[in-house]
Structure 1
Amino acid sequence: MQFGYSELCLAHDPGSRHPESPDRLRAIRERLKKKHGVEYVESDSCELDTMAAVHERAYLESVREFCDDGGGSWDPDTTAVEETWDAARQSAGLACWAAEQALEGATGRETPFSIGRPPGHHAVYDNAMGFCFVNNVAVAAQHALDHDEYDVDSVAIIDWDVHHGNGTQDIFYDRGDVFFVSLHEKELYPGTGAIDEIGDGDGEGTTMNVPMPAGTDDAEYLAALEGPITAALTDFDPDLLLISAGFDAHRHDPISRIRLSTEAYALMSDRVRSLADDTDAALAFVLEGGYGLDVLADSVAIVHETFDGREPIEPDDDELGDNAESVLEDVLEAHDLEPELGD
């Protein structure tokens, strides 16, 4: 894979006790040293006008001023330092780079994966929250839609971070040209992402939330991807598919209760690759969360291995628990879909 990366993203340092630390990127880089075919690319930083296509300009300017004044605690979870504004611009720029590379034909072993930080999917139109200042994947999606050279009419975003991507949902909730899917742990921070949140106005039906119960495992996440998510996005037929790739649903991540294995990320990568192929969509990945350094690094590495030719190992047991199966049935009903679920 091609990994979008910049040392500038290390300068955002919210403190040694904060889970969203520069060590996340250092761990990923260290793990990828052992892998064949890894390429790093540094993009331009994102311009204010590009970010203002999905964020209130006054809000962005307030973040810049906050950082110029030395930063501090924006809210109890979200901390900035003087360098955070530049890191956020770079992180958004890397996400745009990933979208551009995909749309210019990068695929297979060249599939782009932006590993910028701070992450973005909690940043709403006019505010920062949940470690996020600029919604990187939303900026990238809008960037693709706004450039005639790419001929993009529709974008799909699959967010498999364990937390609901409330910011991305907020930005595109009434839009019909972006289909947002969030596969997350039910009732975890920020407490949004119910099944009946399906969009509004022109966007009615183009938001899909799949809030999985604590304890959900590999087979149940795969059933969500193969069932309602694939059915909905096949009908939507996007030109670009972006993955908000958080890795905090791993069973060894310290802040969640979903029970995914490292292999699950290979399997999910394989499924979204097939979905992109079937819909003739360009495909790119954008890093979100993941706070156990070893499992974050292992999970990113196995995504790379999947695109480098490794065949994922299917789970031995594909039986769905009653609670997870009930969630998927409710999602199907909310979106008037009828694909088959697992046995």
Structure 2
Amino acid sequence: MQFGYSETCLAHDPGSRHPESPDRLRAIRERLKKKHGVEYVEADPCDLDRLAAVHEREYLESVREFCADGGGNWDPDTSAVEETWDAVCQSAGLACWAVEAALEGATGRRTPFSIGRPPGHHAVYDDAMGFCFVNNVAVAAQYALDAYDVDRVAIVDWDVHHGNGTQDIFYDRDDVFFVSIHEQGLYPGTGAVDETGEGAGEGTTMNIPMPAGTDDREYLAAVEGPISHALTDYDPDLLLISAGFDAHRHDPISRIRLSTEAYALMTDRFRTLADETDAAFAFILEGGYGLDVLADSVAIVHETFDGREPIEPDSEFGEKAESALDEVLEAHGLDIDLGD
């Protein structure tokens, strides 16, 4: 794969005890040293105008000034230093690079994966939260719609936390279909099944809150069932993965029970979906806070594109997960068998 990366993203340092540390990127880079076919690309940072396509300009200027004054705690979870603004612009720029590469034909072993930080999916139109200042995947999706011959973008957020910011930005629009599969009841407490969009965007938001303890087989049922059927009908020109890896069973801040192999399996399924819908395909890093499992999970996504065959799970489908997915099917009017 091609990985979008910049040392600028290491300069955002929220403190030694903060889970969203520069060591996340260092761990990924160290793990990828052992892998064949890894290529790194450094992209231009986003300017204020591109960020303002999805965020309130006054808010962005406030963040820039906050950083210029030395930073501090924006909220109890989200902090900045002087260098954070540059990292924010660079992280969004790397996400836009991933879109550029995908739309200009990068596929297969050259599929793009932006590993910028800080992450973005909690940043709403006019505020920062959850470690996020600018919504990288939203900036990138809007860039695709504005700068390329793209009519529809699909975003699948498999981070264990609901992508409330991405939902907020596109909730009333039909040119972006947003899917979030996340742990039920976890921060930030949004992402209920009945949050399906409004106005022109009615039906183009799909939330799949999964119960604690959900495993590989049950996540695959969500991917192969409601997600794949809805996105096939939507027929996107571009498919973006908001790739958080904190649903791993060894991540310190969640109770979903995915294995490292689950990320290979989901990657394989979404690659197939992108091929079947003729959609450009790219990944943008979100969360993941156990350094070893984060690095291993990013590496297995790369290995999947490098020819490794994923190993299918042998676990059984749990009743709680089946009930959760039935609610999603009902909310979106999908009459399908979860075994299909």
TM over 0.5: yes
Q: Shift in Å at residue 224 of structure 1?
A: 0.2
Q: Deviations over 1:129-150 (max 9, x none)?
A: 0000000000000000001xx2
**In structure 2, what is the Cα distance between the partners aligned to 1:302 and 1:42?**
22
Q: Which one of 137, 151, 154 corresponds to residue 152 of structure 2?
A: 154
**In structure 1, what is the Cα distance between the partners aligned to 2:262 and 2:243?**
13
Corresponding residue of 1:49: 49
Q: Which one of 248, 251, 254 corresponds to residue 253 of structure 1?
A: 251
1:87 corresponds to 2:87: yes
Q: Deviations over 1:94-122 (max 9, x none)?
A: 00000110000000000000000000000
Corresponding residue of 2:329: 332
The alignment of Structure 1 onto Structure 2 pairs a total of residues equal to 340
**In structure 2, what is the Cα distance between the partners aligned to 1:50 and 1:278?**
31
**In structure 1, what is the Cα distance between the partners aligned to 2:62 and 2:144?**
26
Corresponding residue of 1:129: 129
Q: Shift in Å at residue 340 of structure 1?
A: 1.7
Equivalent runs, 1:260-275 vs 2, <5 Å = 260-275=258-273
Corresponding residue of 1:12: 12
Q: Shift in Å at residue 338 of structure 1?
A: 1.6
Corresponding residue of 2:194: 196
**In structure 2, what is the Cα distance between the partners aligned to 1:259 and 1:342?**
21
Gaps of 5+ in 1: none
Equivalent runs, 1:210-221 vs 2, <5 Å = 210-221=208-219
Counterpart code for 1:253:
D
**In structure 2, what is the Cα distance between the partners aligned to 1:279 and 1:338?**
20
Counterpart code for 2:235:
D
Counterpart code for 2:143:
H
After TM superposition, the score normalised by the length of structure 2 is 0.99
Q: Deviations over 1:181-236 (max 9, x none)?
A: 00000000000000000000000000000000000000000000000000000000
Counterpart code for 2:94:
L
CA-based RMSD of the aligned residues comes to: 0.6
Counterpart code for 1:66:
F
Corresponding residue of 1:290: 288
Q: Deviations over 1:237-270 (max 9, x none)?
A: 0000000000000000000000000000000000
Q: Shift in Å at residue 316 of structure 1?
A: 1.5
Return structure 1 stretches of 4+ with deviation > 2 angstroms.
none
Counterpart code for 1:104:
E
Percent of aligned positions that are identical:
85
Q: Shift in Å at residue 158 of structure 1?
A: 0.1
Corresponding residue of 2:204: 206
Gaps of 5+ in 2: none
**In structure 1, what is the Cα distance between the partners aligned to 2:336 and 2:21?**
41
Counterpart code for 1:263:
E
Corresponding residue of 1:227: 225
Corresponding residue of 2:318: 321
After TM superposition, the score normalised by the length of structure 1 is 0.99
Counterpart code for 1:261:
S
**In structure 2, what is the Cα distance between the partners aligned to 1:200 and 1:11?**
39
**Stretch of structure 1 that moved more, 210-219 or 308-317:** 308-317
Counterpart code for 1:233:
L
Corresponding residue of 1:40: 40
**In structure 2, what is the Cα distance between the partners aligned to 1:12 and 1:308?**
31
Given that 1:320 and 1:342 are in contact with CA atoms closer than 8 Å, whether structure 2 keeps it comes out as: no
**In structure 2, what is the Cα distance between the partners aligned to 1:275 and 1:222?**
13
